[in-house]
Structure 1
Amino acid sequence: MFRRLKTSQIVVDVVVALVFGLIALPFEVQFADGTGQRAVVLSSVVITVLMTAALAVRRLSPGLSLGLAWAGAIAQMGYGRPPSPVDVAIFAVLYVTAAYGSRTVFWLGFASSFVGALVITVYLVIGPYFGSGGVTWSTIPLVLAVLVAACFALLLSWTVGALVRTAVRARENRTAQERAEAEAVVEQERVRIARDMHDVVAHSLAVVIAQADGARYAAAVDPSAATTALETISSTARSALGDVRLLLTQLRHSQGDGPQPTLADLESLYAQVRTAGVTLRVEVAPMPPAEPPGAVQLALYRVLQEALTNALRHGVAGGPVSVRLAWLPDRVEIEVRNPLGSERRHEPSGTGHGLIGMRERAQLAGGRIAAEPRGAEFVVSGVLPLGSPA
């Protein structure tokens, strides 16, 4: 029933209402048509207090304000008083019912505009202010003019409030939309950074684990293998640490993207996989016809990185891995095959975070990626267009 208002708003409304009441009360006493001075003062005070109260709570409780305004109007007619300056408060009340009232109060204000106009017209016609002859054929046009004028004045106040209500709702919707768009941008950036973090950390840890496991067994036969493995672990960890620091900088500061991997970095990726003890075969036929878009290069690198990471983690230890790239005029076709360990052949695939991120990257570049076991092999295949992202 009561709206939440700031203390300053309530104070302003009360002060405005009190000033209005103090100004309107002398006019009420002057316009009164009573025979006794006490009755004149009493009726003037009652009507002024009701209208002043309606004006004071108009924004705090539009419904209560409308009820007080009707009570003041009924008291005015009950005392047989003519329209007076205090009735100006009715226009402010109708305005707030449309601008700030609930749905019920909104329509009650609309109905009050028509009912109030009709009541005013009837009161003036049957009262002593229209003429002693009542309604005749000659006075019907005047009666209709009074009805239309009263309806127009009351409805105009309500309509202005309705327009303000619409503007406020539009502003709130626009603010909510802007907030939602900002949250969506933040969420997209968070997902992108999480995807990059996964790609960097998962691949680097897979190489480190493979090197550590291989060095542990190879050191007994060839002590120099441990040194080579430690060098690979060190370089891989340093590279991963640099990438993680870059991602953390992006999280800490709202800066643009840092340097992203390109086709020139694929050889380093292949070298990391080969040093982990994997027999890697890469076939590129045909070669790129021109410099591919940066988004395609990044997507291709991350897809191959995740596919090779999966081969290291879930494939047969030391098993061969084949990578095939076909650069056509409008697209690049990707295929990565590796033997699948027997313990994982019957497990559901395609639900890990890495595979989901791989598909998301391909979709961002306008392409598609499929990752599934085919017999004794796990195959990652897909297409990335060389034009604009879909």
Structure 2
Amino acid sequence: MIRPLSRTSLVLDIVGAFVLFAVAMPASLAFYAPGSLSTNASEAVAIAAAVVAGLLQCGAVAVGRLAPGIALGVAWLGAIVQMTAALGPLPINIAILAVLYATAAWGGTRTFWAGLGSVIVGGVVAATYLVFVNGLLAGVSVASTIANIVLFSIISILALGAPWLGGFGWRMLLRSRASREAQALAEVSAAEEQERVRIARDMHDIVAHSLAVIIAQSDGARYAAATAPEVAPEALGTISQTARAALSDVRMLLTQLRHRQGDGPQPTLADLEQLFAQVRQAGLEPRVTVDPVPPGEPPGAIQLAVYRILQEALTNAIRHGAGETVDVRLAWLPDRVELEVRNDVAAEVAAGAAGGHGLVGMRERAQLVGGSLTTERGEGEFVVRGMLPIGASMETIG
């Protein structure tokens, strides 16, 4: 029944209703009320009724936006008081038009349709009242009287319906604006969610790979300290280098979170050799086959996807692999690149591992560029296969 409304808006509505009463009420008393009296009503009663009707109708305007349903009821009460005193149309009745506008613009569902019903019922009641009570164009025959009622009903409905239609138009405008704002908020929320997923995926790729290398090197350094102390410094150097690189990447991602800056430099195919070197330092030898080689410069998104997928696949091989080698195959075809990473795993890993964030991240990487990725476990092997489309042709290297 009561809508949330700012204090400023409510004050403006009350002031507007007061101004309307101050302007229209004197005109109503001077020009209409005394001349429209019935034979059974005194002028004093008619003036009092006009004032009461004006107060009710202007009061309805004051609360039109705050409570459109209540305003409609008060406006009807004012009209009934006016008709009870046999008064004709008054300038103060402009307030009724404002109330009908409010019911269509800001009323709830019931108030909205009650406003439309008031337009129709009020139009017919006003026409009948004008013909029978005020004797306006009363016909000498039943047919002419009915014709006059129909004519005035149409005129009254059009007059009352115009502000209601105006309010309906404003209602549609507000709904359209709210829909656009909701859509904009949804798009911003979706973009932020995608950004969070992207950063979480990058964080996982960076941290998981770096920690896998660090753990492998730490275990090797602990073993070397007892058997071959001269190897330990090299392992510690690899740990330091890997940790520093991971720290730099993590700082870049945190900067993006705080300042929403650009993505910054991303790994390319030129960084694969450094990735393979880290895998070798972790104690796993990658056997890399590239056939055919890229005929040109692949798109940056494809280079990043290939790097991140291989990084995660090699990290899984370091963490869960049972052998000392991992097979990596890349085939750069004119319209796609196919990749495969194959490594041995222990029987319990092959049977029980269901995959975690890393496998999900690899699939997301492939899907983001329109490709696909599958994983397969069985017979002591774990295989990652991916296909990434790169278009009909690639930019030729100068």
TM-score range, shorter chain: over 0.9
**Residue 131 and residue 156 in structure 1: after superposition, are their counterparts in 2 closer, same or farther (change >3 A)?**
closer
From 380, 386, 390, the counterpart of 1:376: 380
Q: Distance in 2 between matches of 1:26 and 1:288?
A: 90
Q: Deviations over 1:313-352 (max 9, x none)?
A: 1111x522111111112111111111112331221423x1
Q: Are 1:157 and 2:180 counterparts?
A: no
From 273, 279, 283, the counterpart of 1:277: 283
From 32, 51, 62, the counterpart of 2:68: 62
Q: Report the Cα offset of residue 135 of structure 1.
A: 4.8
Q: Report the Cα offset of residue 132 of structure 1.
A: 5.8
- TM score, norm. by length of structure 2: 0.93
From 305, 323, 326, the counterpart of 1:321: 326
| Helix, strand or coil at the partner of 1:346 | helix
The root-mean-square deviation of aligned C-alpha atoms, in Å, is 1.6
Q: Distance in 1 between matches of 2:259 and 2:26?
A: 66
**Residue 7 and residue 247 in structure 1: after superposition, are their counterparts in 2 closer, same or farther (change >3 A)?**
same
**Residue 366 and residue 229 in structure 1: after superposition, are their counterparts in 2 closer, same or farther (change >3 A)?**
same
Query: How many percent identity over aligned positions?
Result: 55
Paired residue for 2:26?
26
Q: Are 1:387 and 2:391 counterparts?
A: yes
Contact 1:330-1:386 at 8 Å conserved across structures: yes
Q: How does 1:219-238 map to 2 (within 5 A)?
A: 219-238=225-244
**Residue 132 and residue 112 in structure 1: after superposition, are their counterparts in 2 closer, same or farther (change >3 A)?**
closer
From 358, 365, 368, the counterpart of 2:362: 358
Q: Distance in 1 between matches of 2:139 and 2:389?
A: 90
Unaligned 5+ runs, structure 1: none
**Residue 322 and residue 358 in structure 1: after superposition, are their counterparts in 2 closer, same or farther (change >3 A)?**
same
Contact 2:68-2:102 at 8 Å conserved across structures: yes
Q: Deviations over 1:210-245 (max 9, x none)?
A: 000011112222111111101111111111111111
Runs of 4+ deviating beyond 6 Å: none
Paired residue for 1:337?
342
Paired residue for 2:189?
183
- The 10-residue stretch of structure 1 (241-250 or 25-34) with the greater mean CA deviation from structure 2: 25-34
Unaligned 5+ runs, structure 2: 393-398
From 84, 98, 104, the counterpart of 1:78: 84
Q: How does 1:100-139 map to 2 (within 5 A)?
A: 100-131=106-137, 133=139, 135-138=141-144
- TM score, norm. by length of structure 1: 0.95
Q: Distance in 1 between matches of 2:353 and 2:281?
A: 29
Contact 1:82-1:129 at 8 Å conserved across structures: no
Q: How does 1:7-46 map to 2 (within 5 A)?
A: 7-30=7-30, 31-32=32-33, 33=37, 35-46=41-52
Contact 2:54-2:93 at 8 Å conserved across structures: no
Q: Distance in 2 between matches of 1:337 and 1:132?
A: 100
Q: Report the Cα offset of residue 144 of structure 1.
A: 3.1
Q: Report the Cα offset of residue 374 of structure 1.
A: 2.4
How many pairs align?
386
Q: Distance in 1 between matches of 2:119 and 2:187?
A: 41
Q: Distance in 2 between matches of 1:234 and 1:132?
A: 104
**Residue 132 and residue 308 in structure 1: after superposition, are their counterparts in 2 closer, same or farther (change >3 A)?**
closer
| Helix, strand or coil at the partner of 1:334 | strand
Contact 2:139-2:148 at 8 Å conserved across structures: no
Q: Deviations over 1:351-386 (max 9, x none)?
A: x11111110001111111112312101111111111
Contact 1:126-1:134 at 8 Å conserved across structures: no
Q: Deviations over 1:136-183 (max 9, x none)?
A: 445555443322111111111111110100010000000010011011
Q: Distance in 1 between matches of 2:116 and 2:45?
A: 34
- The 10-residue stretch of structure 1 (248-257 or 88-97) with the greater mean CA deviation from structure 2: 248-257
Q: Distance in 1 between matches of 2:391 and 2:191?
A: 24
Q: Deviations over 1:184-230 (max 9, x none)?
A: 11111111111111111110110000000011112222111111101
Q: How does 1:284-295 map to 2 (within 5 A)?
A: 284-295=290-301
2:233 counterpart letter in structure 1 = T
